Amino acid sequence: MSPRVGSRVRRRITIVEDGRVRSRLDYLAAEEPMEIRVMAGGVHKTVAVTMRTPGSDFELAAGFLYAEGVVTEREVIRRIAYCMDPTVDAEQRYNIVTVDLHSAELPDLATLERHFFTTSACGVCGKASLDALENRGCMPLPPGPTVDASLLYALPQRLSERQSLFKSTGGLHAAALFRSNGDLLCLREDVGRHNAVDKVIGWALLHDELPLSDCMLLVSSRASYEILQKSTVAGIPIVCAVSAPSHRAVSVAQQFNATLVAFLRGERFNIYAGEERIVVGEADSG
């Protein structure tokens, strides 16, 4: 039997309800550490350890490295693989992912030192500066596309219908990538909202879909600075969240000409930046 942990695990739990106690088996969202290594010229270095839900691990590693500027295009990646070193405990081999680059030596990884341990909840801790994006050469997003408000109303339900792991565990975030016409391109789940976004962006990188200039990103969580940072680097013009945005997320959206929609629930949402991309009915200034 493979020692690899799946996306969910089964555990016996005790349920207390209306004064009665019963026992049953239940599914829990798996949470395992994943070490991301970068290799070049036969030398490798660990750049991050994140707590994630196993699954789409190569996309997670690729998306993380792309969002951080270590990988700039698909062609620089030679291959992505799990650790098969016989000296490593078999239970941990699927928790180590190495991204092998074509370059003769490792790129400058100094900016990634803060990631040596990243929890599934906090994402990229301690980085809250718009200068970081500007210094990497990120430019404001070009105009367009425009989408109708009625299309946005339908997105949360479509996301919910496709969250298979959430339905069985109740403990996962999701990120979904849609074309501006509403076609679903990719959906990924994870205990970490930032990991879910990295998986989606990694999918796009590995499938040569970047930049995502005709796409919308929907997250099942709040919109944080890190999520807007990642979406901006990927060229996503419209970001929607079912919960609240942070003030730094709004700042990123405003500075880089992204559209930020939050509290997208039912037939209601708030636009915090880039309202010109959303086609709505008669405006109420009250």
246 — phi, psi (to 5°)?
Answer: -90, 165
Instruction: Tell whether omega for the bond before 145 is within 30 degrees of 0, i.e. cis.
Output: yes
What single DSSP character describes residue 107? Answer: P
| 3-class state of residue 64 by DSSP | helix
Alpha-carbon gap, residue 182 to 202, rounded angstroms: 20
Alpha-carbon gap, residue 278 to 238, rounded angstroms: 9
Alpha-carbon gap, residue 122 to 192, rounded angstroms: 8
Q: Is 122 a catalytic residue?
A: yes
Alpha-carbon gap, residue 258 to 140, rounded angstroms: 8
Catalytic hit among 83, 122, 186, 240: 122
Identify whether the C-beta of residue 66 lies closer than 8 Å to the C-beta of residue 38: no
The secondary structure of the chain in percent helix, strand, coil, rounded to multiples of 5, reads 30, 35, 35
Alpha-carbon gap, residue 125 to 79, rounded angstroms: 28
Identify whether the C-beta of residue 128 lies closer than 8 Å to the C-beta of residue 66: no
Query: What contacts 200, CB < 8 A, 6 or more positions away?
Result: 59, 63, 175, 176, 177, 186, 187, 188, 217
CA nearest neighbour of 132 among 60, 68, 197: 68
Active-site residues, by number, are 122
